[in-house]
Amino acid sequence: MIWADYRETGGGVIEALRKSDASLEVKSLAVGDYIIDGKVVVERKTSQDFVSSLYSGRLFRQLAALKRFGRRQLMIIEGLPLTMIRGARPEAIKGALISLAVSWGLPILYSDSPKETAWILEKINQRSAKSRSSPVPRLRLGKKTLAPERQKRQILESLPSIGPKLAREMITAFGSLNNILSASEEQLRAVKGIGPKKARNIRNILREEKSNYLMPR
């Protein structure tokens, strides 16, 4: 069984899967774009969306949410090579890919088209079906797989202007994400490495994030 998020309708992948032998169900998914055999969560991004989400900070926020679910996640990047996307900086792209592979442990597959993406999903589904003789923990939505401190750091590091060192300083100073999200500019300025300008920028970013899915559940 392949579950596809309804927002993928019209992108070409669902349409290609419907022409295959795969058992497909389109529904609203809490995370990811596809869930295969109840085990593998797949995030699909076009090359343009990958670059845009990287520069906006959305990419790592999505990955932080993705890593909370199941034990197997992967990303499929579809379309032109990333360095061919207008505005893409090769160093930033390579750095992000290294971070995904090494720091996040996220496999990345590349696809030329929605049709090829559908083919990849089918092959993963077939491989998963064959491996059922070796028990693998099935997807348990809501199960957090990262240690709390590491999860906090990764969420903060996904935001513009916050690197690993500053993320650690903020966690030390405030303790919880709730406290960080609610911190005033004055409180932020008390953290080592945050000046008035950076405090203002971070406060504006946190104000936007406070109402979305970064708020701890």
Q: Six-digit token pair at 69?
A: 């679910």
Q: What is the mean pLDDT of residues 1-22?
A: 89
Share of the chain above pLDDT 90, in %: 17
Cα–Cα distance for residue pair 13/79, rounded to 1 Å: 13
Q: Residue 160 — very low, low, confident or very high, per pLDDT cuts 50/70/90? A: low
120 near 111, Cβ under 8 Å?
Answer: yes
How many other CB atoms sit within 10 Å of the CB of residue 100?
17
- Are 76 and 107 in contact by the 8 Å Cβ rule? The answer is no
Q: Which residue has the higher pLDDT, 180 or 123?
A: 123
Please give the pLDDT value at position 81: 83
**Which CA distances in Å does 55 have to 50, 140, 160?**
9, 31, 9
- The 10 Å Cβ neighbour count of residue 72 is 17
Q: How much is the pTM?
A: 0.60
CB-facing half-sphere around the CA of 77: CA atoms within 13 A: 22
In sequence order, the 6+-apart residues with CB closer than 8 A to the CB of 130 are none
Flag whether pLDDT at 88 surpasses 80.
Answer: no
**Structural domains of the chain in order of their starting residue, each with its CATH number:** 2-133 (3.40.50.10130), 148-209 (1.10.150.20)
How high is the mean pLDDT of the chain? 79
Cα separation of 140 and 138, whole Å? Answer: 6
From the list 207, 165, 147, 160, the residue with the least C-alpha distance to 182 is: 207
Asked if pLDDT for residue 214 goes beyond 50, the answer is no
